[in-house]
Amino acid sequence: MKQSNICPRFEKAISLLSQRWTALIIYQMVSGPHRFCSLQSSIGISGKVLSERLKDLELKGIIKRDVIPETPVMIEYSLTEKGYALKPVLNEIENWSQSWVEVKSAEE
């Protein structure tokens, strides 16, 4: 059986976006900068996992971490140009989900 060759860049991109919570974090940040606690509450993710994902996304150049020197210190996370370039992709996934993904009610 002949194996198809998958583009290594595509494979790496899918691997990144398929990490649990990663796409949801990026999707939340499309609307603008967020603080850690607002991301955590809007997504429903544990602090430990959110911290890991944010560090990974920062290392990959998808988000940036801004320290605002106030008392107390405030930290905001926002998308970089590279991260913001994912907006059309996430919008299309949202459109597709509206047409094709069924959400079961709590009663089912």
pLDDT computed for residue 6 by the predictor: 82
Q: What tens digit of pLDDT does each residue of 74-86 get?
A: 999 999 999 999 9
How far is the CA of 25 from the CAs of 36, 66, 84, in angstroms?
A: 11, 16, 12
Tell me the residue ranges of DSSP E strands in the chain.
Answer: 34-35, 63-68, 74-79
Tokens of 102: 């069924």
Domain-located, residue 76: yes
Q: Is residue 96 part of a domain?
A: no
The verdict on residue 73 lying in a domain is: yes
56 located within any domain: yes
3-state secondary structure of 46: coil
Task: Report the alpha-carbon distance of residue 45 to residue 50 in Å, rounded.
Answer: 6
Residue 99 lies in a domain: no
Report the number of distinct structural domains present in the chain.
Answer: 1
**Each residue's pLDDT tens digit, 54-68:** 999 999 999 999 999
Average pLDDT on 87-102 reads: 94
CATH number at residue 30: 1.10.10.10
At 3, the pLDDT band (50, 70, 90 cuts) reads low
Closest Cα to residue 50, out of 66, 64, 39, 63? 39
Residue 101 lies in a domain: no
pTM for this predicted structure: 0.85
pLDDT tens figures, 19-52: 999 999 999 999 999 999 999 999 999 999 999 9
Q: Which domain holds residue 40?
A: 22-90
Partners of 75 in beta bridges: 67
Tokens 């607002």 belong to: 38
The answer to whether position 64 is within a domain reads yes
| Backbone torsion region of residue 33, taken as left when φ is above 0, otherwise alpha when ψ lies between -120 and 50, otherwise beta | beta
Is the per-residue pLDDT at 2 higher than 90?
Answer: no
